[in-house]
A and B are shown apart, each in its own frame.
Chain A
Amino acid sequence: MFNRNVENVRLIDTVTSRRASVGTLYLTATHTIFVENETEILTETWVLHSLVFSVEKQASTTTGCPLLVRCKNFQVLQFVIPQERDCHDVHVSLLHLSRPEHYEELYCFSYNANSDREDRRKAWDFINLKAEYSRMGLPNHLWKLTPANHHYKVSDTYPADLYVPKSATPPVIMGSSKFRSRGRFPTLSYYYKENHAAICRSSQPLSGFSARCLEDEQMLEAIVRSNPRSDFMYVVDTRPKLNAMANRAAGKGYENEDNYSNIKFHFVGIENIHVMRNSLQKMLEVSEAHFPSMSYFLEGLESSGWLKHIKAVVDAGVFITKAIAEEGISVLVHCSDGWDRTAQVCSVASVLLDPYYRTLKGLMVLIERDWVSFGHKFSHRNNHLNGDPKEVSPVIDQFLECVWQLSEQFPCAFEYNERFLITIHHHVYSCQYGNFIGNNQKERTELGLQEKTHSLWTYLWKNRTDYINPLYRPDHSQTQGVLRPLTAPYCFKFWGALYNRFDRGIHPRQSVMEYLMAIREETQQLEEQLASHEMKILNVEKQQKKSVNLETNMFDRSPAVWASPPSNSSVGLANTPGDYSGLGGFLKSPYQQKEPENSLLILPWPQELRKPTDPDLSTNGDDQESGIAGLSCLSPPNEESAKDPDSDETAYSAA
């Protein structure tokens, strides 16, 4: 395998294309590393091989041979390698490294987050689905746990533990599962204990044009009966009607209202994975354009259809939420196989229905339940291995975006922030943690992921202060109960923080969230400080009669840490003029040589070679990062940083 470094490689800033940095490119077993060697402070760019989406070698020019690397987290890197031969080698190696053939080659099997076997084991128990079902109030007199799928003998893509109506007998379950694609019979996803209504999920029935299955009909009847206050249920087919009808020709299809007593059938028209894949591709082309006009952007956004698809998922979630919370009617959701659109719709509805899923731990549980356990094909959809490109589709991406769109509409209702969603998105692709490896529970058990890899959830929980939304108010009227979002078209926005995550110039230059998080942290410090002062005063008063010099070190925090409010926003301001002239740097500015690093992971020198850091934390919004760096050091902006707003390096070196 190619395993050496190439010198004098240039990394082109794809956003402004004004400047390139020269450095050395290293390929390791897990990462591509670019070390810049011109600047005083060494800066590095780390890219996980598993995050590489495509590597494209372009026609070589006089200056070298360009290599375009696109990543699954929307980072785009353009290297120019002096020698064509080197470029070829890097290209071939990177293609090979980024497309492993076997699960065992994935990063999570070699990633070691410094914890012992026992801790690792315990960490996997952090999210426990049994606890989740009992949180919902299950099992109870209406719903029971069925052992039908133990050893995955009924459906190899379903989890072992499933909840079904009390009256569903094993023959009914078996019969129903034979009448459903991949044996995915109707089973419980979410139980709304306030009124006993439930969201159930399954795959499509194998009805063809006229086939019936008594057990399947009994299964649905059992679901209706398990909701004592209603005498019918909704069956929501998330596909466009045309697609569902086409499936009938292949012996599949949808439920005939005449055969099933007491169902109301409903199509919601979410497009399939292929349409979504192409839609994302189109939207990314628009978002990557250099200095596009507003019209180009809006027209492109429209023709990509992306926001339309997002709205369709939210609309379906709203429909189910209304049925459950307002009408008290249970719902069965399915699409074709019941692991893509069904997962999206069920989980969006859960977020709307239950405030728990708007908390950090709740969202983890929800993803673990509706996506991981119910067999969303993560490894196929997110392109973990060298596989069929037609299986790839941004399905969970759309769910995360739906949650983001809702959190934009209800800024106080979500405990987690945007960064949490972006971090999850990152790791769905990164293969750094074992959570999303494989396509179903059976595969995951066989791979021994819990023994061999780490869990993302514990990592996120340990760092939860980074992911808390400072505006979250558990007691706020917005937060409690069911969310009733507007779904007018203008409520859906382009999510620049994710899709333009590395085009730093596009994001707000100062972040309210970061500021409030800093304030919250400081408030906590102040409260501690206050308590300690009061204690001290109390003690002083007590001891005035006695000797006075006992507690000099009651608290060890230097006053400088808390004395001034966050006043270093200017450091976070590190920004430069955009290309206002429209002539690509027509004005000759003495500062232009020193433009900030775009889209790069910037770390102070020696640490980073020792351990591959989580790239997410360091790359997510560098401006905000630098603001925080400024806050933590809390020194007033010195002359230098005030004069040279371009240098992020100052902020980092100060930290």
Chain B
Amino acid sequence: MADEVVLLDFWCSPFGMRVRIALAEKGVEYQCREENLQDKSPFLLQMNPIHKKIPVLIHNEKPICESLIIVQYIDEIWKEKVPLLPSDPYQRAHARFWADYVDKKIYHYFRDILRSSSEGEELEKNKKEFIEELKVLEVELGDKPYFGGDDFGFVDVSFVTFYSWFYAMETFGNFKVEAECPKLIAWAKRCMQKESVAKSIPDSLKIYDFAVQIRKKLGVE
């Protein structure tokens, strides 16, 4: 039976991008459906009734939700090509730990900094903490080309999608990630040379424009 794969997504969601990259790495063809997050489709609400969020992967009509769970599913179903998670249980636990770290520790700064006004203590505090957390990731990367070692893997997929949001963050927060974490930027540029990544991640300037609109709507100055 031919596989039927549909992805319910939103163009600039770093979580949706993770799934796009994983599918591209595995060479899986799929139909992408753009959701309007201000007016979610009945189909999305039916496929993800619990969280009502994108991304949702629908494989032969069965939905899988939550981006890291989807990426693991993709890795397990299409296992002959380009493994994303290591085969050794300890290395796998290590990879899951760092992907979870991105979700628990890094993600909320993107939300907080984008919603902070350009002046003020809150922004400075968020910036400082954000850089500290990025540095922890940089130490974990070490001198490896990828978090996965010699090969692009699960943690790389989990984090590289946020690179497209760096420009917006840096502009609103008036700082440069590269000045603080040069190895991390070198890593991101290395990932962007991969076709699976480059074609899954939108242009940083388009994301910046989108973020400007969000800040206007929120009344942030």
Q: Please indicate whether A and B come from the same complex rather than being unrelated chains.
A: no
Interface residues of A, Cβ cutoff 8 Å to B: none
